Amino acid sequence: MPELPEVETTIRGLAPFLQHATIKEVILKRKNLRFDFEKNFAKKLEGQEIINISRRAKYLLFSLSNNDTLISHLGMSGSFKIIKDFANHQAKKHEHVIFSLHHQEYKNLTLIYTDPRRFGFMDISSDISNNRFLAKLGVEPLSNHFNTAYLVEQFKGRNLPIKTALLDQTIIAGLGNIYVCEALWQARIHPKTPIKSLIDKNNKPDERLEILVPAIISILNQAIKAGGSSLKDFTNANGEQGYFQHSFDVYGRTNQPCNKENCSGIIKKITQSGRSSFYCDKCQNKPVDLEL
């Protein structure tokens, strides 16, 4: 599934072409993606100028001239691609939504949404602060609001495993499985560690929790710089793959040696809440009395 870096990469690739472009026509090749398109979906968008394109968590937000916002989630396999010469475009399977655009500089452009698995979706909102998908999201991990003090406040007294807590979108918006595994490895925290054990009785954070915050920020920024990670389906607005997957230290490296200096550990894989967790069996110590 595209995570925060992949969505941010998509935003940055689309922005030069979409900002101040006018939506001339919207063609829906099917009635639904994950959910049905709302009634008059195409008509609500046609004639609107795209004022800005931004990101909230894993959602793409297209701000329109009528003050509505087109919200899009890429799901497991969704992607947007800009086509400059649609007349010569060879249609491909799973191209579900086609936006015909006019841009003052680039003239006629086409934006195509492709989604083989159809877990993505689109929604039009007149009030994003109360939108059902956005209203309960937590802080952005690349914002100034994300820090160790925030995690202490969110974690104290709770017995959730750290991996589960970091993937909770109401706590931190946008983190996904890949980058959480990588950050926990950097901070030497086992993915099943109870979050309350990372805070002492005086609400002071464990040293590992202090390391975790900059580790998350650093990994996300590195991944964005690398264009995200392409494991199966992800491509950017130019149809190109990201390459951060070549920098993984734990994700997908089961039974390979740990990359930490002087560590003799081996990367192991367990399942948590239906997701794979990867960790080093030496430097990410298992919490006391915890069954794997």
Q: Are strands 95-103 and 107-114 parallel, antiparallel or unpaired?
A: antiparallel
What is the CA 179 to chain-centroid distance, rounded?
Answer: 10
Is 275 labeled as catalytic in the residue annotation? Answer: yes
For residue 181, give the H/E element and its range.
helix 177-186
Catalytic residue among 44, 55, 58, 253: 58
CA neighbor of 56 nearest in space, from 118, 157, 142, 182? 142
Is 257 labeled as catalytic in the residue annotation? Answer: no
DSSP assignment of 8-74 equals HHHHHHHHHHHTT-EEEEEEESSSBSSSBPPTTHHHHHTT-BEEEEEEETTEEEEEETTS-EEEEE-
Task: Give 70's contacts (C-beta < 8 A, 6+ positions apart).
Answer: 45, 61, 62, 64, 122, 123, 124
Burial of 275 (0-12, 13-18, 19+ CB in 10 A): middle
Is 58 labeled as catalytic in the residue annotation? Answer: yes
Tell me the C-alpha distance between 3 and 183, whole Å.
14
Tell me the C-alpha distance between 147 and 49, whole Å.
37
Catalytic residue among 12, 260, 269, 275: 275
Catalytic residue among 2, 5, 141, 205: 2
Residues with catalytic function: 2-3, 58, 275
